Amino acid sequence: MNQIKTILLIYFFISCQSPTSNYKPKSSGNINTVTVVIENNLWKGSVGENIRESFASEFFGLPQQEPVFSLKQIPPGTFSGFTRESRNILLIQKREKDTFFLEKNKYAYPQVFVSLSEKNNKQLIQTVNKNKNKIISEIKKNEIKEKQKRIRISSLKKTNLRDLLSIDLRMPSAYKIYKEGNRIAWFQRDTDKGTVNVLAYELKDNVRKDHNLKEIIKIRDSIGKLFIPGRNEDSHMITEEAYEPYFKKLTINGLESIETRGTWEVKNDFMAGPFVNYIIKDTINNRILVLEGFVFSPSSKKRNLIFELEAIFRSVKIY
């Protein structure tokens, strides 16, 4: 009997210990933040300058300059314990053996961990430049998923978008329906200094294989005139004419799409801010679906607000 008890105790001990050995803590950190593990002298020199140019370059489409990622540098000697739980980590080292690898969930979950080593500064810079697009892409995907996960914790339950446009969008519960029309909806949430806005509508008469930038601006401005008035008489939203928007093709949930980023202004009024617009070729319903977000938040940073809108739009489900 004692022997059986002993065997059961051993089995219980092993069973309890096994999950612990595979356990990874939840990653942490602010959205769009990257921990850069690098010696102080490298960070202050040409290698650090190149890292900042590569990963803290300008976030496109904002009225004021803000970086793509916020970088937080720590020396390798302090890289232990909770610092390894950062969601995005870039480890840069000068060593005789040159290495580069990108690993998911090395110390925490979810996590993007990049390790890079070279013999000298020149080779470190070359390896960063060679791999920066891949690194940025993986970190951005990681951050979109993290933002969407945070949105799901407290999301808006009733949007009426399925009845109105045969779509679902996952957005934070702070958003409220602001205005609704024929096959168009406008949601808004308040910020400390302004608002963040979501528009969704369809273009049944504009099903074309391609949309160029000029056509997209024309569509934006026509919707602004019909649906987004300013505070003054004869004022409405338009695409700011002084700066050409950024324009690229991509896919969203398997559908051909066009992303446009730029700044908007209100004609005959003093209001302006950034926008992000997606033209989506909806082959399910034979139409063009338009998802747009714009921010009005004077004298405040706007990168993370635009990023929130991107996370919302990339959650779209079409029925």
Grade residue 2 by pLDDT with cuts at 50, 70 and 90: low
Residues 6+ apart with CB under 8 A from 177: 159, 160, 185, 186, 187
Torsion on CA atoms 88, 92, 98, 102, rounded to nearest 10: 0
Summary mean pLDDT of the chain: 92
CA distance readout (Å), 257 to 37, 199, 209: 37, 16, 11
What pTM does this model have? 0.90
Quick check: 271 and 288 in contact, CB under 8 A?
no
Structure tokens at 11: 């089995």
Grade residue 21 by pLDDT with cuts at 50, 70 and 90: low
CA distance readout (Å), 269 to 117, 165, 214, 293, 299: 53, 31, 23, 20, 17
Determine what percent of the chain is predicted with pLDDT higher than 70: 92
Quick check: 104 and 112 in contact, CB under 8 A?
yes
Enumerate the domain spans of the chain: 33-152, 156-318
Quick check: 113 and 103 in contact, CB under 8 A?
yes
Residue 258: pLDDT above 90? yes
Amino acid 18: pLDDT: 45
Mean pLDDT of 99-107: 97
Mean pLDDT of 68-78: 98
Q: Beta 88-94 vs 70-74: how paired, if at all? A: unpaired
Higher pLDDT, 14 or 121: 121
Question: In terms of Cα–Cα distance, which of 181, 183, 178 is closest to 195?
Answer: 178
Residue 107: pLDDT above 50? yes
Mean pLDDT of 78-100: 96
Whole-number Å distance between alpha carbons of 264 and 221 = 10
Amino acid 213: pLDDT: 94
Amino acid 19: pLDDT: 45
Question: In terms of Cα–Cα distance, which of 197, 162, 194 is closest to 176?
Answer: 197
Query: pLDDT tens-digit profile of 31-66?
Result: 999 999 999 999 999 999 999 999 999 999 999 999
Residues 6+ apart with CB under 8 A from 132: 54, 55
Amino acid 8: pLDDT: 47
Whole-number Å distance between alpha carbons of 185 and 177 = 7
* 303 SS3 class: helix
Residue 149: pLDDT above 80? yes
Question: In terms of Cα–Cα distance, which of 165, 66, 147, 167 is closest to 310?
Answer: 147
Question: In terms of Cα–Cα distance, which of 224, 219, 230 is closest to 260?
Answer: 219
Query: pLDDT tens-digit profile of 152-187?
Result: 999 999 999 999 999 999 999 999 999 999 999 999
DSSP structural state of residue 168: E
Grade residue 22 by pLDDT with cuts at 50, 70 and 90: confident
- CATH, domain range 156-318: 3.40.1000.10
Mean pLDDT of 77-97: 96
Helix axes 121-153, 46-55, angle to 10 degrees: 40
Residues 6+ apart with CB under 8 A from 86: 27, 28, 29, 33, 34, 35, 72, 108, 111
Amino acid 12: pLDDT: 47
Query: pLDDT tens-digit profile of 218-229?
Result: 999 999 999 999
| Residue with tokens 């959650």, as numbered in its chain | 315
Quick check: 103 and 50 in contact, CB under 8 A?
no
